[in-house]
Chain A
Amino acid sequence: MLGMKFDLNHLSQLANLKLTEEEKKQLPEQIEKIIDWVGQLSLLETGEEEKFAPVNFTLRLEADEPENPLPQSEVLAMAPDKEGDFIKVPKVLTGK
């Protein structure tokens, strides 16, 4: 754990994950190893140019026009919980 580059609690909060006791034991070491290993990338000499997606062709843009959406009943059929025509979730605001 010494010299840990990251705060696992903070990362799991950002990712909306809660770790089990088992994962809390295993993950820090595993992720530390992965981060150290990918760190070797600093040895590669690169230019300043960045590439985020290998699109070497012209992307065709589409007009922003609405089309026929999925029927509401089919969308609602997927929902874990619903009430009438709405997807239902637990309360958003808590009393804290």
Chain B
Amino acid sequence: MKQKLFELGLTEAVNLVKSGQVRLVEIVEDYLNQIDRVDKKVKAYLTCNFDAALARARQIDSKPEKGKLAGAVLAVKDNIVTRGLRTTCGSKILENFIPPYNATVIERLEAEDAIIIGKTNLDEFAMGGSTENSAFFATRNPWDLDRVPGGSSGGSAAAVAAREAAGALGSDTGGSVRQPAALCGLVGLKPTYGLVSRYGLIAFASSLDQIGTFARNVRDCALLTSIIAGFDRRDSTSADRPVPDFIANLELPLAKKRVGVLAEALLTGVNSEVAANYKAVVRNLQELGFAIERFPFPSWQYALPCYYIIAPSEASSNLARFDGVRYGFRADSRELSEMYVKTRTLGFGSEVKRRILTGTFALSSGYYDAYYARAARARQTIIREFQTAFKQVDFILTPTTPEPAFKRGEKQDPLSMYLEDYFTVTANLAGIPGLSLPSGMTLNGLPIGTQLLGPDFSELELFKLAFLLEKIFNFKNNIDGITTVREEEE
């Protein structure tokens, strides 16, 4: 039987296309069939780009010199703008928005001959942890269709897990790449603040947002990241510094071997299987000769409240631009101020409104000092604690999430959803990189993720450690484990 090309990893597919063993158009056609077969159930995609993808594939097949990503079929979270391809942000307010330009990350991917096969579902404006808060539909976890894929980049994660793409872009403001990566059994990276250009990422909370990558293994994630990383003059928060060669250095020995782990007290309330997996991972590292240091991290438990002041405050300001004037949805009105209000009232969903109002409160006269300014001081305290920690250790290891994928509809109370970000928000507040790696399975077959944190711009070290651990964990991200795909086979 002919090998299914959508099962190839990103690097494998690129190697086959570049060596001329497989035509890109065959790979794209295989993905189109796979999407047709499984996306009715998974619902990862908001918009498919089939015709353009096939046309581009034919064009790339005929090129004598192919780019570094020729063969890579990718999904892109629908808050990253794509020229001529609808970009909704999971919101009614942008339901019919066709961007007139490409985000820098899209330009860089396409310049290396990657194929963008579609735009993936998300919690509206990337606010949420389950991809149930999309204005259009909820995405499901391919490992168990009754469960959520995580969020907010749940569509991208589900697409890669279900073999509807070889890799994907997401965005991570408080864990929105790492948490769905963990829940869907993938590798997911939130890069250092400033490593990847955000030009063309629809802003949620500008001091926290980063574009990140998903793949089914560490090498693929590193390859994808290496293409989108690096200075961009169109993003004023972009870091003008050289990016190391992640791929060439991936297998070199790791010089840094000191690992910090969280004190027991910070792990209370964590699901027992996740906690047991974390302990096993720490033991693995000890056996490999890593020095383990336990940290009390007194500010860790305050990171969530700090985040849930800063993120809504920035969102309330960033989302002020959606007023129905220049683009997007506009509600019929007789006068301008009424148009603003009606457009926003009908265009935004309830979680977005909740955050805009919370942020408006935190920034309002009389409350600014007690909330926003206090959060800014807490943020500096958290950053200082990381700086002190990274003098003693090279990495900090945590579970990625407090629990594996939860049931759809399980978290109705907004606060219970916010707690999902307990392990991930610190990296966004501090600006440091974080990588989630599949590290095991629960008894009922759900993936568990481990998060590796490092100091600013330590992505190469994170990839190297993850590459080493990946071999030890030997996580079976194979197609047989995934409900939706397997059921279809039977």
Contact = CB atoms under 8 A, between A and B. Distances in A.
Interface of A: 5-6, 8, 11-12, 14-20, 23, 26-27, 30-31, 33-35, 37-60, 62, 70, 74-75, 77-81, 87, 89-92, 94
B226 interface: no
A35 B358 contact: yes
Contact of B193 (A6, A54, A79, A87): A54
A39 B380 CA distance: 17
25 contacts: A8-B357, A11-B357, A17-B345, A18-B342, A19-B353, A30-B414, A31-B357, A34-B415, A38-B375, A45-B381, A46-B374, A47-B380, A47-B384, A50-B377, A53-B207, A55-B193, A57-B240, A60-B238, A78-B326, A79-B326, A79-B327, A80-B325, A80-B329, A89-B336, A90-B334
Interface of A is mostly: loop
Contact of B308 (A26, A34, A52, A53): A34
B59 interface: no
B222 to A, nearest CB: 22
Interface in B236-250: 236-241
Contacts of A27: 353-354, 357
A59 B414 CA distance: 36
A62 B235 CA distance: 10
Contact of B328 (A44, A80, A87): A80
Nearest to B330: A80
A42 B2 CA distance: 62
A94 B299 CA distance: 52
Interface stretch (B93-101, B148-156, B265-273): B93-101
B295 to A, nearest CB: 16
Given A38-B308, A52-B376, A78-B327, A31 B340 contact: no
Contacts of B240: 57-58, 60
A12 B342 CA distance: 12
A58 B240 CA distance: 8
A51 B324 contact: no
A74 B334 contact: no
B376 A92 contact: no
Contacts of A42: 370, 374
Given A55-B237, A91-B335, A11 B378 contact: no
A43 B298 CA distance: 11
A59 B306 contact: no
Among the interface residues A31, A47, A53, A74, which one has the most CB atoms of the partner chain B within 10 A? A53
Contacts of B302: 40-41, 43-44
A45 to B, nearest CB: 8
Given A40-B305, A46-B380, A54-B379, 19 more contacts: A11-B364, A16-B320, A17-B356, A17-B357, A19-B353, A26-B350, A27-B357, A47-B380, A51-B377, A51-B379, A54-B383, A55-B237, A57-B239, A70-B100, A75-B326, A78-B98, A80-B328, A90-B336, A90-B339
Contacts of B336: 89-92
A15 B239 contact: no
Nearest to B361: A6
B194 A55 contact: yes
Nearest to B233: A62
B33 interface: no
Given A42-B374, A78-B100, A87-B326, A52 B207 contact: yes
Contacts of A46: 374, 377-378, 380-381
A44 B344 CA distance: 36
Contact of B373 (A12, A50, A77): A50
Given A31-B357, A40-B302, A94 B327 contact: no
Contacts of A75: 100, 326
A73 B348 CA distance: 28
A49 to B, nearest CB: 5
Contacts of B260: none
Contacts of A92: 335-336
B378 A89 contact: no
Contacts of A39: 305
B305 A37 contact: yes
Contacts of B339: 89-90
A57 B241 contact: yes
Contact of A54 (B327, B358, B373, B431): B431
Contacts of B233: 60, 62
Contacts of B354: 27, 30-31, 34
A86 B23 CA distance: 47
